[in-house]
């Protein structure tokens, strides 16, 4: 198996030839990981590889031989989910009623679906989450979609921890606010994750949904179905760097203490344009809290 010379440029748009090449290789029985290795050898960067390999619809990626749970998951995930988390923004709403406060809407983008909120958290809440998390930080892990477990990932160089849902008074207050803000039950959210990024730390571009083509995905989905949306809350802004980037649309959001960034993805497919990452922190520390929203109750 070899990739064409035209595939060496990481800036080249996803062409019809590239689409055919991916489908042909999958149809010939090559794995996604084998395609990754081939593209690495051709000089592609890791973030560009992910965009290229997963720029096809789920149904197209499933053209390779699949059976059992893997085929069932791929077929079930091909269509957008019926219900979606997110704020009600009719009439270009300037504020959203989050129960205990009116949250300003600072920016919206339709595709990908991105909403920036100001004043989502108070200084007291930011400090409280940082203090409670600080004693429990460890090197951040990522979900291992090949097995359904967790693993260290060189693309993610932060320290982090998870709160149990409703673990303390601040967590309960924030979770209730998020549920009202995004019209999604508290029970459908994963536990709040807090991350610290020191100088040089980053999170390279990635997707938050679970790839239906990976063998560990059925195990992950048993806990609450697919992820449908992400809410990032900035607890502390660094002195420089640390922006949240969306490479597919050229968007970068600067971290601002107390603000929140929501983005949704109605299906596990790059067509949602939800590829995102955290740029390296250049000075100071960045602290963020993340809430991932699932299809159903997360257990």
Domain ranges for the chain, please list them.
Answer: 5-56, 95-294
pLDDT of residue 58: 38
Res. 16 pLDDT band, cuts 50 70 90: low
Mean predicted confidence (pLDDT) in 106-132: 97
Mean predicted confidence (pLDDT) in 187-196: 97
Query: pLDDT for 236-270, tens place per residue?
Result: 999 999 999 999 999 999 999 999 999 999 999 99
Tokens representing residue 209 in the block: 């949904």
DSSP 14: -
Q: If one looks up domain 95-294 in CATH, what number appears?
A: 2.60.120.620
pLDDT of residue 132: 96
pTM strictly above 0.75: no
Tokens representing residue 269 in the block: 């497919």
- Are 129 and 113 within 8 A, CB to CB? no
How many beta carbons lie within 10 A of that of residue 263, not counting itself?
24
Tokens representing residue 180 in the block: 């009202």
């Amino acid at each position: 198996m070899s990739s064409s010379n035209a595939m060496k440029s990481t800036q080249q748009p996803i062409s019809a030839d590239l689409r055919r090449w991916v489908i042909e290789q999958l149809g010939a029985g090559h794995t996604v990981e084998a395609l990754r290795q081939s593209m690495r050898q051709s000089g592609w960067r890791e973030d560009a590889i992910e965009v290229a390999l997963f720029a096809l619809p789920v149904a197209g990626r499933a053209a390779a031989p699949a059976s059992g749970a893997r085929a069932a998951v791929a077929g079930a995930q091909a269509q957008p989910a019926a219900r979606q988390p997110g704020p009600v923004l009719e009439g270009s709403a300037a504020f959203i009623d989050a129960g205990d406060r009116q949250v300003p809407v600072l920016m919206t983008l339709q595709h990908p679906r991105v909403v920036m909120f100001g004043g989502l958290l108070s200084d007291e809440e930011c400090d409280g989450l940082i203090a409670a998390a600080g004693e429990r930080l460890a090197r951040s892990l990522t979900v291992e979609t090949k097995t359904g477990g967790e693993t260290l990932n060189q693309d993610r160089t932060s320290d982090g921890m998870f709160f149990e849902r409703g673990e303390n008074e601040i967590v309960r207050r924030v979770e209730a606010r998020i549920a009202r803000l995004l019209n999604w039950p508290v029970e459908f959210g994963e536990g709040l994750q807090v991350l610290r990024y020191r100088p040089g730390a980053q999170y390279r571009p990635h997707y938050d949904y679970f790839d239906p083509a990976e063998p560990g995905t059925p195990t992950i989905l048993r806990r609450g179905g697919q992820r449908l949306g992400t809410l990032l809350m900035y607890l502390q802004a660094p002195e420089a760097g640390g922006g949240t980037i969306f490479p597919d649309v050229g968007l970068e959001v600067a971290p601002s203490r107390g603000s929140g960034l929501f983005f949704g993805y109605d299906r596990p497919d790059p067509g949602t344009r939800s590829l995102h990452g955290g740029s390296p922190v250049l000075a100071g520390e960045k602290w963020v809290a993340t809430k991932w929203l699932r299809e159903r109750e997360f257990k």
